[in-house]
Structure formats: structure tokens, C-alpha cells
Amino acid sequence: MADNHDPRCRQCRREGMKLFLKGDKCYTKCTLDRSKDQKTKWRDKPPGWGSGAGQQNPLFQKKMTEYGHQLREKQKLRRIYRVLEKQFRNYLDLALRQPGVTGENLMRLLELRLDNVIFRLGYASSRAQARQMVTHRHFTVNNQRVNIPSYIVKKDDRIGVYETMSQSGVIKEARERIHKRSIPVWLQMNTQTLEGVVVEVPTREMIDTNVREQLIIEFYSR
């Protein structure tokens, strides 16, 4: 299974913001938060700055071009949803063929991935953990076991825990997490049965991912 194995804190530093790739640890042990310390203030700079002469390198002092901004938005979105370039391009091609605004279609497709829905419902602390739980066949969609993280859920789909997995350690942790996690308005969760429902297909206003998707469309339109 293809995945991005670059150090996750390094990916956040590259984008200059928290991508929440490590789940709960991003709230308590974030590299960007530690950058406030004078001894480690270089941590909030992109990889390659270092703490010495590298800061004087003129390459780091160049003003970012329009292409650079577009590239960074594209990379940011890919890293948030943990999608590699080929698969990301396939999502874009599908978004282009759908009616409506292409950028919103792209965001909707990524948000409706099964691993992302598992994360949004609170079963997992991060999308990486959600991806692993799906591949290990922890969940069902409409009572059918699914082990494909990129599976696209639809309106009224019901996501549940497979009966033999209900007593596993990660599901027991999820029971405690679900009560604390805020769930998007387009999803519903029954905390007693641990069953989630896709109430409606999300609009862009319902998706809190902080990216400028129009720059991504412009990047691929060059």
C-alpha cells in the first residue's frame, strides 16, 4: 500500500502549519509549538534552515512566486488527506467531470474517503490510524466489511464496527474519544452502538480543511 513515510513533523514544518498528522500528540508535543523556545526557534522554519549558517542562505530569502504558492497548497492538501500524487490527480480528473465548482468537488471527494470519515467520526485519532484500522478490516459500510481506505461513502451510508473487532484495544480507546470529539454536521454518531451515518454530502462550508483549493486547480491548469 503506497503511503508517504516522510517524518510527519517535518511535513508540518514544510507547510508552516499544523497538519495534525500525529493525532492527539499534535496538541501536546507539536514541533511548531516548541519553536517558541529560543534554543529551538528554527523549528518553525522549513526543513533545511538549521540553526546556523543555513539561515543566511539566499535561497531561503527569495520571495515565493505564484507557482510556489500553488504548489504549497497542493502539497498541503495531499499531506492532510495522505494521498499520493497519482491518486490525487485521479481525484482531480473525477472532480473535473462532475457538475459544479471543481475545487469544491475535489474537497468533497477527499472528505468522503472512508478513512477520513472514520477519523471525522472519532474512531481514530488521526487519518493515518484510520487508514490502518480500515485496512485491518475493523469497519463495515451498510453491514458489508470494507478494507479500502479510498472507498467513497455516499449519503445515508451507515458505518459500523465489525462485530469481532468491537473488543479490540483501538475500539475501546475510540469509545472514550468519541465523547470528546466534535463531529461535523454532515455526520451523525450513535455513541451507544458506535454506528455512524452520513446524513448528507458535505458542502465546502461544512469542511474545515484550511486550504485554498482554487490555487490547486490553477496549478494543474498551467
Quick: pLDDT tens for 82-120.
899 999 999 999 999 999 999 999 999 999 999 999 999
- One domain for residues 16 and 84: yes
Domain contains 87: yes
| pLDDT at position 15 | 56
- Burial label for 168, CB within 10 Å (0-12, 13-18, 19+), is middle
Instruction: Give pLDDT, residue 112.
Output: 97
CATH code of the domain covering residue 144: 3.10.290.10
Instruction: Check residue 92 and give its pLDDT.
Output: 95
Per the listing, cell 473535473 goes with 96
Q: Is 13 exposed, middle or buried (0-12, 13-18, 19+ CB in 10 A)?
A: buried
Q: Per mean pLDDT, which range of 51-55, 76-80, 170-174 is the poorest?
A: 51-55
Strand ranges for the chain from DSSP E: 139-141, 144-145, 158-161, 187-190, 195-198
Q: How confident is the model at residue 169 (pLDDT cuts 50, 70, 90)?
A: confident
Q: Is residue 221 part of a domain?
A: no
Q: What per-residue confidence (pLDDT) applies to 68? A: 84
Residue 212 grid coordinates: 485554498
pTM, full prediction = 0.78
* Residue carrying C-alpha cell 450513535: 190
Examine the pLDDT at 53 and tell me if it is beyond 50: no
Same domain, 50 and 119: no
Q: Looking at the domain assignment, is residue 15 inside a domain?
A: yes
- Listed in order, strand segments (DSSP E) in 138-177 are 139-141, 144-145, 158-161
- Rounded to 5 degrees, φ, ψ at 161 are -90, 130
Domain count, the chain: 2
**Is pLDDT above 70 for 38?**
no
| Same domain, residue pair 120 and 194 | yes
Which amino acid appears at position 120 of this protein? R
Q: Judge whether residue 12 has pLDDT over 60.
A: no
Residues 95 and 16 in one domain: yes
What is the percentage of the chain residues whose pLDDT exceeds 70? 72
37 belongs to a structural domain: yes
Is residue 214 situated within a structural domain?
no
Contact of 150 with 127, CB cutoff 8 Å: no
> Do 129 and 187 fall into the same domain?
yes
Q: Given a cut of 60, is residue 146 above it in pLDDT?
A: yes
Query: Is 206 part of any domain?
Result: no
CATH number at residue 90: 1.10.1050.10
If asked whether residues 102 and 144 sit together in one domain, one would say no
pLDDT given at position 168: 83
Residues 151 and 78 in one domain: no
When the pLDDT of each residue in the chain is averaged and rounded to a whole number, the result is: 81
In a domain, 163, yes or no: yes
Residue 61 to residues 43, 56, 70, 74, 106, Cα–Cα distance (Å) = 17, 8, 19, 22, 33
d(CA 187, CA 72): 30
Range of the domain at 132: 113-201
Distances (CA, A) of 205 to 98, 122, 184, 208: 19, 20, 11, 7
Domain boundary among 41, 76, 108: 108
Task: Judge if 17 and 44 occupy the same domain.
Answer: yes
**Secondary structure class of 101 (helix, strand, coil):** coil
Query: What CA–CA distance (Å, rounded) separates 221 from 208?
Result: 25
Cell of 200: 448528507
